C-alpha cells in the first residue's frame, strides 16, 4: 500500500516504498511487522547558522534519518548537495537498512543530508558547516547508536572535522563515531577505494558468468566521483576499456579508451571534467545511451527513467549509485532479457562493508593491512552474490527483488522476535 501520508513523501521515497512492497508481498510479511519494518524509525531536522567568510550569517538546513535501529547501531552516509530533501534522505536510509542486512552487517540503516552546494563554500566555510552539523546531531549519534560516513559532496576531510567535533564534545579521541576518515585518524586502508572496488568486483563476477572477457569489455560511467572513479581504475586495471565518463557538467566519450589519470588530474585542477580534451564532449543523457558492455550509474538517484530505459545499449547495468533506476525504468528493464542488472543494495555494498571494518578496527585499536581488508571484503561480496542469485532462482523474481527479499526478511525477523515495546 502506498505510504503517502507522511513528511517523507517524495518521488524517491515512493520508489523505495514500492521496492519494499514488491519484496514484502513475496515474503508475505505479517501486516504489523510489515509497516514497522517499512517506516523510518526517527528523524532530526536541524538548522545550522554558519558565519560566512564575509561576516554574514547564513542558515543551512540538514537532516538525519534513522530508518532501522532494531539490528544494531544505525549506519549511513552524509550527503552535502543543493537538492537534498528529507524524503530523499529517508529513502537512502531505508536502502541502508536492507543493504547492511543483506551483506550480514550488525547495523541498522540511516542517512544524513545537508541542503548546500559545496562549490559555493570556501574551505573554512565548509569546515564550519561540517562541524555545526555534527554538533547538532551529537545527541542522536555515537559508536553504539548511529555511525555516519561520507556520501555525495563529503569526503575524508569532512569526516575528520566531524570526528574532531564529536571527540571534543566527549573530551577524548573517539574515532568509532564516524567512518571514511583519513588513515592518520583511524581510517581504514582501502576505505577510499572500497565502494568502487566492490562495484568492479561485481561487474567482473557477473561478466564472468556471462562469459565476457576483459578485452571484450567497454565501460561507461555516469559520475566520476569517489565511486565512479575508483570503479573505473579497478576495471581498467583488470583490462577493460573505459569509453565514457561524466560529472555534473557533462560527459566525455572516447571509443579508444579514456586516459583516466589525465581525467583525474584535470578534475583535481579544475574541480570538474568540463573542457577535458581526452574525448568528445557529450551530454549526460547521451552518455547513458552509448553502446557499451557495462553501464555504471554512479551519480544521483533517478537517472535511468521510463524515457531512456528502453534505449540503453549495455549488457550489464551496475548500480554504483543508490536508487538510480525509477520504478518505471525497472519495469522496462525487467522485460528486457538482453540486460542484466546488479541492484544498488548489492552493487555498492563494498563501501559500508569496509566502513564496518574501519569501525571494528577503531573499537579494537588494532589495524589491518590493505590485503586483509580486501580479502575479507571480497569474501563477503561473494557470499552476498551467491545468496542473491540463489534467492532469485527460488522466487523467480528480479535480482533487485531477490536482494531486497533477503535484506528485508532479516530486519523483519529481528523485529518480530524482539516483540513490541511496551
Can you give the binding site for ligand NAD, defined by CB under 6 A? 150-153, 195, 222-228, 246-248, 284, 298-300, 320-322, 348, 351
**Residue 99 backbone dihedrals phi, psi, to 5 degrees:** -65, -50
CB of 141 to ligand NAD, least distance (A): 18
Task: Kindly report the three-state secondary structure assignment for every residue of 314-351.
Answer: CCEEECCCCCCECHHHHHHHHHCCCCEEECHHHHCCHH
Cβ proximity to ligand NAD, 175 vs 225, nearer residue: 225
CA distance 229 to 209: 24
Cβ-Cβ contacts under 8 Å for 140 (sequence gap 6 or more): 42, 44, 64, 66, 146
Cβ-Cβ contacts under 8 Å for 383 (sequence gap 6 or more): 103, 104
Cβ proximity to ligand NAD, 119 vs 216, nearer residue: 119
Cβ proximity to ligand NAD, 118 vs 391, nearer residue: 118
CA distance 44 to 332: 36
CB of 230 to ligand NAD, least distance (A): 8
CB of 405 to ligand NAD, least distance (A): 21
Residue 370 annotated in active site: no
Residue with the CB atom nearest ligand NAD in the bound state: 225
CB of 35 to ligand NAD, least distance (A): 26
Kindly tell me the burial class for residue 275, based on how many C-beta atoms sit within 10 Å of its own C-beta (0-12, 13-18, 19 or more): exposed
Cβ proximity to ligand NAD, 24 vs 362, nearer residue: 362
CA distance 85 to 290: 31
Catalytic site residue from 38, 75, 99, 111? 111
Cβ proximity to ligand NAD, 285 vs 416, nearer residue: 285
CB of 421 to ligand NAD, least distance (A): 32
Helix, strand, or coil (residue 59):
strand
CB of 245 to ligand NAD, least distance (A): 9
β pairing state of 340-342 and 316-318:
parallel
Cβ proximity to ligand NAD, 73 vs 228, nearer residue: 228
Cβ density class 312-330: b for 16+ within 10 Å, e for less = bebbbbbbbbbbbbbbebb
**Residue carrying the nine cell digits 577503531:** 362
The catalytic residue positions are 111
Amino acid at each position: 500500500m502506498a505510504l503517502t501520508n507522511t513528511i517523507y513523501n517524495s518521488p524517491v521515497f515512493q520508489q523505495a516504498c514500492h521496492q519494499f512492497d514488491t519484496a514484502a508481498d513475496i515474503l508475505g510479511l505479517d501486516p504489523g511487522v510489515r509497516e514497522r519494518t517499512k517506516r523510518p524509525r526517527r528523524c532530526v531536522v536541524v538548522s545550522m547558522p554558519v558565519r560566512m567568510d564575509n561576516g554574514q550569517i547564513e542558515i543551512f538546513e540538514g537532516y538525519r534519518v534513522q530508518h532501522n535501529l532494531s539490528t544494531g547501531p544505525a549506519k549511513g552516509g552524509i550527503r552535502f548537495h543543493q537538492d537534498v530533501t528529507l524524503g530523499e534522505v529517508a529513502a537512502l536510509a531505508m536502502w541502508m537498512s536492507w543493504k547492511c542486512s543483506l551483506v550480514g552487517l550488525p547495523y541498522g540503516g540511516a542517512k544524513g543530508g545537508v541542503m548546500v552546494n559545496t562549490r559555493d563554500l570556501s574551505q573554512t566555510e565548509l569546515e564550519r558547516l561540517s562541524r555545526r552539523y555534527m554538533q547538532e546531531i551529537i545527541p542522536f549519534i555515537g559508536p553504539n547508536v548511529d555511525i555516519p560516513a561520507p556520501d555525495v559532496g563529503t569526503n575524508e576531510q569532512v569526516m575528520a572535522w566531524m570526528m574532531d567535533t564529536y571527540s571534543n564534545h566527549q573530551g577524548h579521541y573517539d574515532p568509532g563515531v564516524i567512518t571514511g576518515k583519513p588513515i592518520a585518524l583511524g581510517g581504514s586502508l582501502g576505505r577510499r577505494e572500497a565502494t568502487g572496488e566492490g562495484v568492479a568486483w561485481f561487474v567482473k563476477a557477473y561478466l564472468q558468468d556471462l562469459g565476457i572477457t576483459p578485452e571484450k569489455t567497454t565501460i561507461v560511467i555516469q559520475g566520476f566521483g569517489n565511486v565512479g572513479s575508483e570503479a573505473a581504475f579497478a576495471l581498467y586495471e583488470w583490462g577493460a576499456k573505459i569509453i565514457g565518463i561524466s560529472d555534473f557538467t557533462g560527459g566525455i566519450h572516447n571509443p579508444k579508451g579514456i586516459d583516466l589519470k589525465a581525467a583525474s588530474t584535470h578534475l583535481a585542477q579544475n574541480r570538474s571534467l568540463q573542457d577535458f580534451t581526452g574525448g568528445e564532449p557529450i551530454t549526460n543523457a547521451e552518455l547513458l545511451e552509448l553502446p557499451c558492455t557495462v553501464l555504471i550509474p554512479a551519480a544521483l538517484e533517478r537517472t535511468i527513467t521510463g524515457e531512456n530505459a528502453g534505449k540503453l545499449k549495455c549488457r550489464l547495468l551496475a548500480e554504483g549509485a543508490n536508487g538510480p533506476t525509477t520504478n518505471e525504468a525497472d519495469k522496462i528493464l525487467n522485460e528486457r532479457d538482453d540486460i542484466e542488472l546488479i541492484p544498488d543494495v548489492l552493487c555498492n555494498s563494498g563501501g559500508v562493508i569496509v566502513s564496518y571494518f574501519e569501525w571494528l578496527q577503531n573499537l579494537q585499536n588494532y589495524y589491518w593491512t590493505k590485503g586483509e581488508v580486501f580479502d575479507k571484503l571480497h569474501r563477503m561480496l561473494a557470499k552476498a552474490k551467491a545468496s542473491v542469485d540463489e534467492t532469485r532462482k527460488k522466487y523467480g523474481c528480479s535480482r533487485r527483488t531477490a536482494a531486497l527479499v533477503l535484506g528485508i526478511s532479516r530486519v523483519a525477523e529481528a523485529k518480530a522476535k524482539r516483540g513490541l515495546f511496551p
